[in-house]
Structure 1
Amino acid sequence: MQRGKISFGKIQLSVNKPAPAAATTDKEESKEGAGDSATGGGFKKMDKIQMIQQIEDVAEDLESQHLKEVMGISGFGRKAAKVFDINEQIAKARVTRPSLHKKTEEKDEEEDNDDVIGPQPPSLDTNAAENNTKSSEDASEKSKEQDSDEDSEDDGDDSDDEQSLARRIPYTHEVQMQHGSRAVLALAGDPSGARVVSGSIDYDMCFWDFAGMDSSMRSFRQLQPCENHPIRSLQYSVTGDMILVISGNAQAKILDRDGFEKLECCKGDQYISDMSKTKGHVAQLTSGCWHPFNREQFLTAALDGTLRIWQGIKSKEQLQVIKTRAQGGLRTNASACCFNRDATLIAAGCVDGSIQTWDTRKMFVNTTHCVRGAHQKGADISSIVFSYMGQQLATRSNDETMKLWDLRQFKQPLHTWTNLFSRYDTTDCCFSPDDRLLVTGESLPKDQKEAKLYFYSTKTYEEVQRIPVASSHVIKTLWHPKLNQLFVSCGNGTIKCYYDDQRSIRGAKLCVVKTHRKRQQIEMVGVSQILTPHALPLFRQEKSRSSRKKMEKARMDPVKSKRPDLPITSGQGGRVASSGGTLSSYVIRNLGLSKRVDDDQDPREAILKFAKDAAENPYWIAPAYKQTQPKAIFSEKLPSDGTAAAPAAKKPKTEDDK
């Protein structure tokens, strides 16, 4: 049996020399004691103290052995593993190898049933050892070869990745959304990828819901949150339930997911020179962004030379005020601002061409990084954005350049891309989700027919791809990391959405497969007129009149034309008197009754109308008293022969009676 493991506990080697005392086991000690007793040595006389001590040792050994069995560990208690030199043991084994090889094999078979503490001892066969060393060397060589192969494969993958960067761009399919007719300056996507909002220079803000849209790609809501101010920037919060709206006004607004206003920031006092003493901005806003993981904190920048951090939706005052300074300590305005991914830095691009950063864990008195002359002076830095890893920073300016910076070496840019024409002060740039590409758009030059979208590698700084977008300016670019789709806003009011059918998920792919449902057409049956000039009057149809004659006839009808009541030209009391003479009759006639009541009719005559019908068909009173009604007894008629005495006629009064 070949054992390749090294024993750190019990070592059992059958050699001529007695094993050292450190390597003896409990069983050998017990055998030696038994041998001594068998040879007649017997037990020596011991004191009571020694006997008690030995009993305690045996108890401790039994207790430790019991604990070892329960806990399943080795080397516990006083009988711990002994330290030895493995090289010395192997050398001794090689000296006595020829004579002991067979004995060790037999011994191993006998001692397989013994309890061995720790791993098995190494084999004493030099051939096996040599084979093991050779196999280990071969394995190491193979592992080295595999490592080299893997390295070469990795290098190949890297080279392939560099070549396949263009295939990583999701632009195999294209969908167009129409915002309006003016330039779309702002574009933002929901973190979950369910919605997109856009803001334009014509004050409108549109909401796009991919789950509810069909192939017509129409927005489900359009509003003007800031009245007569263009929308400069939009951004969803980290939870996606609020939208930060940056307009040409001095007050930023926060809308909920459906477009209802939740907060409007305070406006500062224009007559206070120290901007840190005011409650808000006093000039036009230029940029703004949310905190990366605090859903109630956001940052705004304005032309009053300050950046303001706002905390809380209920409290309308700012939390911190950051002042941007130019070269000589004078005030300069920030045209773009942003947080890094872990919210430890705030970066701002200023009008004087400088890039300034502040550490959020310190006071905002001095800048952490400040690069003067990062861009041309007087040209606004339209966009500043951190990479997803947080080590790189990209800036886009109206001086037709885009620069890539490394925060560890912030004095000089890593690379500068030129000839990127820009007319709008909100033209931005963005990183790809894997930070390997940098994307930006250009405004339409005079000598070109289409504006293009440029993709640059952040490692080799070479142009990877160039996509023609539209015959207008390219302003905003959004590469959604969850959808893997590109949204591009243009100067003609359109929003282009690019996606890959294989690598992109949801988003615009949900809308393309839904067909546009047209309105159900109402089925109308045309009635054809049959002309029968010689038909009888009973079956003769009226001649069809023209629309003008129909209109004149409907105009003459007071009901169809809804003619108001004509004025009363004669009489007294007005309409109240004409309807019956009393106010109650007027109310009954006009409000209480659906049918008009003629007040001039005699009520007795109106009741006697129903007398004959009541006598012939009793319904109300007679059936109720049918069982208990007594039989009517009428007077008998007089005979016709005149035998009965007729009652005397009443004597008329005369003048004598008076």
Structure 2
Amino acid sequence: MSKKPISFGKIKFSLPTTTSTAEQNEEANTSGFGTFGRTPIQEQTKDIDEIAEDLESQHVQEVMGIKNFGKKAKNFDIEEMMMRARQAAQEAAKKKAVEDEEKAKEIIENSSAKDDDDDDEDLIGPPLPPGLVEEDEDIIGPPVPEALKKADDKTKGEDSYDELSGSDDEDDAGPEKKIPNSHEVQMLHGSKAVVALAVDPSGARLATGSIDYDVSFWDFAGMDASMRSFRTLQPCENHPIKCLQYSATGDAILVVSGAAQAKVLDRDGFESLECVKGDQYITDMAKTKGHTASLNSGCWHPHIREEFMTCAQDATLRLWLTDNPRHHKAVIKPRQQGGLKTNPTACTFSRDGNTVACGCFDGSIQMWDHRKSFVNTSQVIRSAHQKQTEITSVVYSYLGNNLASRSNDDTLKLWDLRATKQPLNVFDNLFSRYEQTDCGFSPDDAMVFTGESLQKGQDVGRLLFYNTKTFKKVTQIEVSKSHVIKAVWHAKLNQIFVGCGNGVVKCYYDQKKSLRGAKLCIVKTHRKKQSSDVVSSQQIITPHALPLFRQEKLRTNKKKMEKDRLDPIKSRRPDLPITSGQGGRVAASGSTLSSFVIRNLGLSKRVDDDQDPREAILKFAKDAEENPFWVAPAYKKTQPKPIFQGDDDDGPSDAKKQKT
């Protein structure tokens, strides 16, 4: 009998007793903390399972006549498969390396032989350098896994990202290579300063506004190399245009002028709506329906296609809906530090449309949450710029983390919206004369740009680009010999449109990096229309045509005019005057009263208008005296016989006749 060992957890102590060798082996295996690797018990259980499966299959075969139900799932050894794949890859890589080395040697030998034979003969493709062949000899595995292997090797300390992806030429040369300014096109708006510029989201049309009250529309698909606008109009009569912007869908354009009423035009320039004007005698601006003073700026909501915003000199911002232009949607009243009202000079929406921002005349930048009521501000930068100077532009970055503001205090400031106590950087010595001088971000937010007005002694207006990371000036573009006011970098076209103080609009683009836009116009030539004064109808000449239907060929216009002059119908000749009574208008029915009466009564078939009417009546006097029919028989019995004085009778002299 063996005694029971004393155990505490896995720690066991066996008393010295006489036991068999099997029991000693079992105690050795079970005592202590265990063993590493497979235990003999597991191997035995594996053999027992295989025997049990064989017995079960034999039993099924005896009873049902089949061995098993379906095939048994195969077991894969992943480590063994990986080892085989690694060996195959290494062999293939070595084989490929040897083949590449042989090809490189052949190319080098052939090229050297050709160079020796004829130095003027050109090579087809550049020869491989000898250093590349030596490096290929040491490569084990395909090139991409080798690069990954180098990336994982920490001892070499190389940048794996540059090896795998490669660095572009643009990144190596700097951000100035991203600016599309290799080519330029000039468009002439007028003679006054272009202070408003807008490009639709698709990049098909451009709208320019000036202080000469005109708005010009430019269609890139329809223009030729002459670069002329297809429509120019004055939507706001005698008010200068201050701001233009296309809606998010591009089917409408907002026109902000010096008037108190903003207008919305359709894509072709026809007026769609006009905002209502407020009552200027109401003190509380929230109680009136619209602006009561001159507008300063305006913009569309980036996502809500029917909503837009305007700001004016009545110290309010107003949100509008195109469905109801007779009343504003909401009113925002910015305030100074002490609570007094201040005029907003520039306004904008954030890229996501959740924030409304404006720059005020007191030098502050104020922001409101668009999803809440506009009573309290969500963020305020009080001393953003110098007081009593217009903040001409406020622009959000594409990512929405930064904000750029331009002011007439000759500065451009870059802000981080997560910490607005101090600006990230101040770019100074940027003179500005106009209230519409703007700024903007590049499409990748790597640069910020703005225009500069001319000072005394300067000759060329510049467009300046600054790096948003290092805050250094990247480059500058000398635009024209005038002020640079507006600048728009269209992300879809990758083209920059600049409005100048002399009425010129310039478009900068790159032949390789830019798309459509001005590139569509420069390849088209202007064709002058051939205008003809006389439009001649096409003549069909037939050899057997009758003279009645034959058309005369008039070689010159003079002969044609002379012939038409002789035609009374074509020349519209008036009626000729009556001369003798025959052939005229009145002579057709008788030139005298007697001929007219006789002809109408039918008493005479022919009337001689030349005879004397007295002679015609006295012709019947003798016949009437001899054979009276009407008068004499009626008075024959009662009337005395008439006695007529003869010519020879001497009678009393006439009393009225003067005596001689």
Q: So what's the TM-score if we normalise by structure 2?
A: 0.63
Counterpart of 1:277 in 2: which secondary structure? coil
2:511 corresponds to 1:514: no
Matches within 5 A, 1:509-548: 509-520=519-530
Partner of 2:252: 242
One-letter identity of the residue aligned with 1:292: P
| Residue aligning to 2:205 | 195
Classify the secondary structure of the residue corresponding to 1:167. helix
Alpha-carbon offset, residue 120 of structure 1: 3.5
Q: Residues 450 and 29 (structure 1 numbering): CA distance in 2 closer, same or farther, change over 3 Å? A: same
Where in structure 2 are there 5+ consecutive unaligned residues? 1-36, 90-139, 535-566, 578-583, 590-595, 606-626, 628-660
Q: Please give the per-residue CA displacement for 1:582-628, whole angstroms capped at 9, x wherever unaligned.
A: xxx9xxxxxxxxxxxxx9998999xx9xxxxxxxxxxxxxxxxxxxx
- AA at the equivalent of 2:251: D
- Distance (whole Å) between structure 1 residues aligned to residue 301 and residue 334 of structure 2: 20
Aligned-partner SS, 1:305 = coil
- Does residue 435 in structure 1 map to residue 445 in structure 2? yes
* 1:365 matched to 2:323: no
1:140 shift after superposition? 7.6
Classify the secondary structure of the residue corresponding to 2:171. helix
CA distance in 2, matches of 1:345, 1:301: 15
Which of 142, 150, 161 in structure 2 is aligned with 1:142?
150
Alignment match, 2:486:
476
- Amino acid of the structure 2 residue aligned with 1:470: S
Tell me the equivalent position of 2:353.
343
Q: Distance in 1 between matches of 2:600 and 2:39?
A: 146
Q: CA deviation at 1:335?
A: 0.4
1:491 to 484, 501, 517: 501
Residue 514 (structure 2) pairs with residue 504 (structure 1): yes
- Specify the SS of the correspondent of 1:275: coil
User: Where do residues 128-527 of structure 1 align in structure 2 (5 Å cutoff)?
Assistant: 141-145=149-153, 148-151=158-161, 157=167, 161=171, 163-520=173-530
1:343–1:360 CA contact under 8 A, matched in 2: yes
Q: Which runs of no fewer than 5 residues in structure 1 stay unpaired?
A: 1-12, 44-61, 70-112, 525-556, 569-577, 586-598, 609-654
Does the 8 Å contact 2:274/2:325 carry over to 1? no
Residue-by-residue CA offset, 1:256-314 (whole Å, 9 max, x unaligned): 00111111111111122111111111111111100101110011111111111112334
2:152 corresponds to which letter in structure 1? K
Q: Within 2, Cα distance between the matches of 1:400 and 1:28?
A: 94
After TM superposition, the structure 1 stretch with the greater mean CA deviation from structure 2, 406-415 or 152-161, is: 152-161
**Which one of 37, 59, 73 corresponds to residue 115 of structure 1?**
73
Write the distance in 1 (CA, Å) between the matches of 2:442 and 2:83: 60
Q: SS of 1:403's equivalent? A: strand
Q: 1:357 to 1:129 in 2, by over 3 A?
A: same
- Rounded to whole Å, the distance in 2 between the matches of 1:158 and 1:373 is 41
Deviation digits for residues 350-370 of structure 1, max 9, x if unmatched? 000001111112221111111
Q: Is the 8 A contact 2:197 2:209 kept in 1?
A: yes
Supply the distance in 2 between the matched residues of 1:203 and 1:601 (Cα, whole angstroms). Answer: 79
Pairs aligned (count): 466
Q: Tell me what 2:652 maps to.
A: none
Preserved contact between residue 296 and residue 313 of structure 1 (Cα < 8 Å): yes
Pair 1:473–1:20, CA change in 2 (3 A): farther
Change (3 A) 1:142 1:376: same
Give yes or no for contact 2:214–2:232 (8 Å, CA) kept in 1: yes
Aligned to 1:276, the other structure's residue is in SS state coil
Contact 1:235 1:289 in 2 (8 A): yes
- 1:129 Cα deviation from its structure 2 partner: 12
What CA distance in whole angstroms lies between the structure 2 residues aligned with 1:563 and 1:351? 76
2:257 partner amino acid: S
Q: 1:123–1:129: 8 Å Cα contact kept in structure 2?
A: no
- Equivalent-residue separation in structure 2 for 1:558 and 1:337 (angstroms): 73
2:159 match: secondary structure: helix
The verdict on how the C-alpha distance between 1:32 and 1:129 changes in structure 2, with shifts beyond 3 A counting, is farther
**Residues 506-554 of structure 1: CA distance to partner in whole angstroms, max 9, x if unpaired?**
1111111111112437699xxxxxxxxxxxxxxxxxxxxxxxxxxxxxx
Given the superposition, is the C-alpha separation of residues 183 and 35 from structure 1 closer, same or farther in structure 2, using an over 3 Å criterion? Answer: closer
Residue matched to 2:52: 29
- AA at the equivalent of 1:302: A
Counterpart-to-counterpart distance in 2, 1:129 and 1:220: 69
**SS across alignment from 1:318:** coil
Residue 316 of structure 1: how far off its partner (Å): 2.9
1:579–1:165 CA distance, 2 compared to 1 (3 A): farther
CA distance in 2, matches of 1:125, 1:257: 65
Distance of aligned partners of 1:500 and 1:125 in 2 relative to their CA distance in 1, 3 Å threshold? closer
Q: 2-side partners of 1:124 and 1:243: how far apart?
A: 67
Q: State the distance in 2 between where 1:327 and 1:222 align.
A: 44
Return closer, same or farther for 1:604/1:24 CA change in 2, 3 Å cut-off. Answer: farther
Distance across 1 between alignment mates of 2:482 and 2:232: 23
Aligned to 2:124: none
* Per-residue Cα deviation, 1:42-93 (whole angstroms, up to 9, x for no partner): 99xxxxxxxxxxxxxxxxxx9xx8xxx9xxxxxxxxxxxxxxxxxxxxxxxx
Work out whether residues 247 and 285 of structure 1, in 8 Å CA contact, stay in contact via their aligned partners in 2: yes
8 Å contact 1:263–1:313 — kept in the other structure? Answer: no
Could you tell me which residue of structure 1 aligns to residue 643 of structure 2?
none
* Distance (Å, rounded) in 1 between the aligned partners of 2:47 and 2:585: 134
- Please tell me whether the aligned partners of residues 219 and 229 of structure 2 are also in contact (alpha carbons under 8 angstroms): yes
Distance 1:385 1:418 in 2: 18
Let me know the Cα RMSD of the aligned residues: 4.5
Q: Residues 114 and 523 (structure 1 numbering): CA distance in 2 closer, same or farther, change over 3 Å?
A: same
What CA distance in whole angstroms lies between the structure 2 residues aligned with 1:34 and 1:155?
58
Q: CA deviation at 1:383?
A: 0.4
Distance 2:254 2:209 in 1: 12
Distance in 2, matches of 1:447 and 1:203, equals: 30
TM superposition score normalised by structure 1: 0.63
Measure, in 1, the Cα distance between the counterparts of 2:256 and 2:305.
17
Contact 2:358 2:365 in 1 (8 A): yes
Q: Secondary structure at the match of 1:225?
A: coil
The 3-state SS of whatever aligns with 2:521 is: helix
Q: CA deviation at 1:17?
A: 4.2
**CA distance in structure 2 between the partners assigned to 1:14 and 1:601 by the alignment:** 156
1:230/1:141 CA distance change after superposition, 3 Å: same
Structure 1 residues 558 and 461: alpha-carbon distance in aligned structure 2, compared to 1, 3 A threshold: farther
The answer to whether the 8 A contact 2:296-2:313 is kept is yes
CA distance in 1, matches of 2:49, 2:599: 138
Identity %: 54
Cα shift at 1:116: 3.0
Partner of 1:542: none
Q: SS at the partner of 2:436?
A: coil
